[in-house]
A and B are shown apart, each in its own frame.
Chain A
Amino acid sequence: MQVVRYVPNEVDVSLRALLALFVIGFGVWIIFAWMKYDKSAAQTEQGLHKGTKQLIELTLVREDANKLACASNITVEGLNCAYLANSQPRVPAPPDDAHLLRPYCNVKNDVLLAAGLWDSPGMRGQLPNERFTVMCNYNVVGVLKSVSLRWSPTDKFDAAKQTLPVGILTDCVIPQ
């Protein structure tokens, strides 16, 4: 069999690479569309508004149950921080986890205040000893502007830089 050789010239070599880039780009675009990137990659959260209920994913370690705290004098729909704005413990303390606000981060690193996580049935068993995420329904009942946060008992309270949503977490489960 006679082999006919095509030898690109010095400029064609780079044009061929450019063509390859466009072909690859078109191929990736087709694959993205076929895999419905718009449903997977889009920012699905609609924003946390008062009165809304939304599925959120929080990132945690089990020690967070004793580490996370907020400080504010304000009560929102019967929900309180464990500490007052002057960093002193609230007296009387909130009666249970369902009324005690704590700060959490979702997987996109947004901070929110919530109560009811640790009493949720899905969180009562043995918790993992590594970092994990939990998915919950988040019922937004209000917002707090003047609030300070603490991520560890050894830290000082730092004022939150933005208004934070306040809500109740229900139906929490660790995705399997």
Chain B
Amino acid sequence: MTSLAVTAKFAQAVRSAWQRVTAAWASASQTERATTVLLGIMIVGGVFLRIRAVWFPTNFTFDEPFFVPNAHNYLLGMKDTNDHPPLFKMFMSVGILLFGYNSAGWRFPAVCFGILSVVLAYWLGKAYFRTARAGLMAAAFVAADGFFISYSRVGLMDGILTSLLLWCMLAAVSARTWRGVLVTALLVGAAASVKWSGVFIVIPAVVTMLLVGRVPLWSVLLFAVVPVVQTAVWVLALRLSGEPTNLASLWQLVRGLVKKHVEMNRDSNPLNSSWYAWLIFYKPVVVKFSTHGLHKFYSSSVGNPVLWIAVDLFLLWSFIQFVARGTGGGGDLRARLARMKEFLVGKPVGKPILLTLLGWAAMIAPWTILRNKYSFTHYYLPAYAFALLTLGGLLAFSERKRPKTVLVFVALALVVAIYFAPIWGEFSMREYAANRRLIPPGWRP
């Protein structure tokens, strides 16, 4: 394709998007327009909170010492001694290459992927629910939630992993032939090369491709490319760090890391929390905390309470409804199963919500099964992204009948986001002011 053709295609896409925006605005009611403005403020504000003074403090915070020196090692041709796959640290080394070995360099990839997550939430919401409104809601919720903001401001991998997983699902929901399946598999390989737990996205990806895209069943075999991608990333990383790149050495290295992870599960850590505690943000980590004189700077990973409480209530309601259809109402087993199926794929929940909830379930399930001692709130970040997609879709559909209720909900989420913004985006504040926001002692550093 010539550069002229690419430019023409890009211009067409921009023109097309602009026409759709103006058409949607013209046909919207006053209430919907007000909601749109609030959602816009959430997105712009969320992007601002991700970028502002992200390089402060200029020293390592939280777990950065485990990753940053190893990212630097790739540029020096030295060994990576960290216990996670290398791709995240290679992204970080690109930041260090661009900006130098400083806090701007090692936090650059997290900021970029953090903003990309907002864009991907829009595209994914739109693709799942077939309406741009759902995408806009999902993007605004991801933008204005401290869980995502804090992990966009720190040199840690969870925000990047989440972004890649959203990307995987965008590819999956768009897949129609083997080409789409291959692209999805390559992205799953990339996500698993950031953190091994990323591989669990295979389950919702395959289900989505079969149900939505109706791809040929044989094409699922293309997921065999996932370990190949992972191996290729490792080989590149080992080459950069001057280590042996043969498969025997790589196998030994991976086995050693797996063993280390198993041993770590026996360790205890004051920040440990079980999966069910994540749903209520029982112990969110303050991923950045610094003091200057009497002023403190926090980047807490506590989510937007309006959003996570709404998500939890919806999950609880869905669970109760699902169980009630199976246990109440009479009839034989077939009738009960039919009622349960109707609830899952019919109204009011519907197939798109079932699929986004499958993403949520797939990313939280490993931690409910493993039940290890060494699990932390940030393991919930990818699952929570799918929960917010679900919420976006639900509200977009609800808005057709109850636009004022949705406006009130969005306004409330925005007000709470503004109240919490100082402890998400490291604004200068006194401890007592921070404690008014970090109310439970478990939320404080």
Which A residues have a C-beta under 8 Å from some C-beta of B?
1, 3-6, 8-11, 13-14, 16-17, 20-21, 24-25, 28-29, 31-32, 35, 37-38, 40-44, 57, 59, 107-109, 128, 130-135, 174-176
Task: Please give me the 5 A-B residue pairs with the lowest Cβ-Cβ distance, nearest first.
Answer: A175-B293, A10-B180, A41-B55, A41-B104, A6-B16
In the complex, chain A residues whose CB is within 8 Å of the CB of B16: 3-6
In the complex, chain A residues whose CB is within 8 Å of the CB of B177: 10
Q: Is the interface of A mostly helix, strand, loop or mixed?
A: mixed
In the complex, the chain B residue whose C-beta lies closest to that of A22 is B112
Q: Is the interface of B mostly helix, strand, loop or mixed?
A: helix
Q: Is B165 an interface residue (CB 8 A)?
A: no
Query: A-facing mask of B298-320, CB < 8 A → 1, else 0?
Result: 00000000000000000000000
Q: How far is the CA of A3 from the CA of B51 in the complex (A)?
A: 35
Additional A-B contact list (7), CB under 8 Å, known A4-B19, A43-B102:
A3-B16, A6-B12, A6-B16, A24-B115, A28-B108, A37-B99, A133-B291
Q: Are B116 and A28 within 8 A (Cβ)?
A: no
Q: Is B119 an interface residue (CB 8 A)?
A: yes
A11, A44, A128: residue with the most chain B Cβ atoms closer than 10 Å: A11
Q: Is B260 an interface residue (CB 8 A)?
A: no
In the complex, chain B residues whose CB is within 8 Å of the CB of A176: 293-294
Q: Are B59 and A108 within 8 A (Cβ)?
A: yes
In the complex, chain A residues whose CB is within 8 Å of the CB of B51: 28, 31
Known contacts A11-B180, A17-B119; A43/B175 CB under 8 A: no
Q: How far is the CA of A107 from the CA of B108 in the complex (A)?
A: 22
In the complex, chain A residues whose CB is within 8 Å of the CB of B389: none
Q: How far is the CA of A29 from the CA of B109 in the complex (A)?
A: 11
Q: What's the minimum C-beta distance from B109 to chain A, rounded to whole angstroms?
A: 8
In the complex, the chain B residue whose C-beta lies closest to that of A45 is B58
Q: How far is the CA of A135 from the CA of B294 in the complex (A)?
A: 12
Q: Is B120 an interface residue (CB 8 A)?
A: yes
Q: Are A133 and B183 within 8 A (Cβ)?
A: no
Q: Are B112 and A133 within 8 A (Cβ)?
A: no
Q: How far is the CA of A96 from the CA of B424 in the complex (A)?
A: 44
Q: Are B291 and A107 within 8 A (Cβ)?
A: yes
In the complex, chain B residues whose CB is within 8 Å of the CB of A4: 12, 15-16, 19
Q: Is B57 an interface residue (CB 8 A)?
A: yes
Q: What's the minimum C-beta distance from B161 to chain A, rounded to whole angstroms?
A: 15
Q: What's the minimum C-beta distance from B132 to chain A, rounded to whole angstroms?
A: 11
Which B residues have a C-beta under 8 Å from some C-beta of A?
9, 12-13, 15-17, 19-20, 22-23, 51, 53, 55-59, 98-100, 102-105, 108, 111-113, 115-116, 119-120, 123, 127, 167, 170-171, 174-177, 179-180, 183, 187, 213, 290-295, 431
Which one of A10, A14, A31, A42 lies within 8 Å of B176 (CB-CB)?
A: A10
Offer 18 A-B interface pairs, CB within 8 angstroms, sorted by A.
Answer: A5-B16, A6-B17, A10-B177, A14-B171, A20-B116, A21-B112, A21-B116, A31-B51, A37-B102, A38-B99, A41-B105, A107-B290, A131-B291, A132-B293, A132-B294, A174-B293, A175-B292, A176-B294
In the complex, chain A residues whose CB is within 8 Å of the CB of B100: 38, 42
In the complex, the chain B residue whose C-beta lies closest to that of A173 is B293
Q: How far is the CA of A94 from the CA of B379 in the complex (A)?
A: 53
Q: Are A133 and B293 within 8 A (Cβ)?
A: yes
Which one of A3, A17, A135 lies within 8 Å of B170 (CB-CB)?
A: A17
A9, A21, A29, A43: residue with the most chain B Cβ atoms closer than 10 Å: A21
Q: What's the minimum C-beta distance from B99 to chain A, rounded to whole angstroms?
A: 6
Q: Are B99 and A17 within 8 A (Cβ)?
A: no
Known contacts A13-B174, A17-B120, A133-B292; A37/B183 CB under 8 A: no
Q: Are B53 and A40 within 8 A (Cβ)?
A: yes
Q: How far is the CA of A11 from the CA of B171 in the complex (A)?
A: 8
Q: How far is the CA of A107 from the CA of B98 in the complex (A)?
A: 26
Which one of A1, A29, A43, A44 lies within 8 Å of B23 (CB-CB)?
A: A1
Q: What's the minimum C-beta distance from B299 to chain A, rounded to whole angstroms?
A: 16
Q: How far is the CA of A24 from the CA of B116 in the complex (A)?
A: 7
Q: Are B58 and A41 within 8 A (Cβ)?
A: yes
Q: What's the minimum C-beta distance from B182 to chain A, rounded to whole angstroms?
A: 9
Q: How far is the CA of A69 from the CA of B171 in the complex (A)?
A: 60
In the complex, chain B residues whose CB is within 8 Å of the CB of A174: 293-294
In the complex, chain A residues whose CB is within 8 Å of the CB of B53: 35, 40
In the complex, chain B residues whose CB is within 8 Å of the CB of A108: 58-59
In the complex, the chain A residue whose C-beta lies closest to that of B178 is A10
In the complex, the chain B residue whose C-beta lies closest to that of A110 is B59
